Chains A and B, each alone.
Chain A
Amino acid sequence: MSSPVRLTLSTVEAAHLTDLIDQFTELLADTIDDEGLDDPAIARLVPDAYRGDPEAAAEFRRLTQSDLLDRRRDDAALMLVTLQSHGAAVRPGELREEDAAVELEILLEDGAIDAWLRTLTAVRLVMAVRLGIEDDETDDLDDARFGVYHWLGYRLDGLLSALDD
Chain B
Amino acid sequence: MAVVSTIPREDVDQATSSRSAAPWQAVVWNDPVNLMSYVTHVFRTYFGYSRERAEQLMLAVHHVGHAVVAEGAREQMEMHVQAMHDFGLWATVREGDA
By a beta-carbon cutoff of 8 Å, the part of chain A in contact with chain B is 1, 45-51, 56, 60, 64, 67-68, 71, 117-118, 121-122, 124-125, 128, 133-136, 138, 153-154, 156-157, 160-161, 163
Bound: A138/B78 CA distance, A = 32
A134-B32 in contact given A60-B78, A117-B41, A153-B2 (Cβ < 8 Å): yes
User: What's the nearest-Cβ distance from chain A to residue B27, in Å?
Assistant: 9
Query: Can you name the residue of chain A whose Cβ is closest to the Cβ of B26?
Result: A49
Which of B37, B86, B92 makes the CB contact (< 8 A) with A160? Answer: B37
| Inter-chain contact A133/B33, CB cutoff 8 Å | yes
In the A-B complex, the 9 residue pairs with the closest CB atoms: A121-B88, A157-B4, A128-B33, A160-B37, A64-B82, A49-B81, A135-B32, A136-B32, A47-B90
| Inter-chain contact A51/B92, CB cutoff 8 Å | yes
Query: Can you name the residue of chain A whose Cβ is closest to the Cβ of B93?
Result: A49
Chain B 1-45 against A: per-residue CB contact (8 Å), 1 yes, 0 no? 111110000000000000000000000000011110110010001
10 pairs, A vs B, C-beta closer than 8 Å: A49-B85, A49-B91, A50-B94, A121-B87, A133-B32, A153-B2, A153-B4, A157-B4, A157-B38, A160-B35
What DSSP secondary structure best describes chain A's contact surface? Answer: helix
Bound: A49/B33 CA distance, A = 18
Bound: A43/B53 CA distance, A = 30
| Inter-chain contact A124/B33, CB cutoff 8 Å | yes
Interface size classification for chain B: 20 to 34
Query: Can you name the residue of chain B whose Cβ is closest to the Cβ of A128?
Result: B33
Bound: A161/B78 CA distance, A = 30
Query: Can you name the residue of chain B whose Cβ is closest to the Cβ of A75?
Result: B86
Bound: A56/B24 CA distance, A = 14
| Inter-chain contact A157/B35, CB cutoff 8 Å | yes
| Inter-chain contact A136/B41, CB cutoff 8 Å | no
Which of A48, A56, A60, A153 makes the CB contact (< 8 A) with B35? Answer: A153
Please give, as numbers and ranges, the residues of chain A lying within 8 Å of B85 by CB-CB distance: 45-47, 49, 64, 68
A45-B33 in contact given A64-B82, A160-B41 (Cβ < 8 Å): no
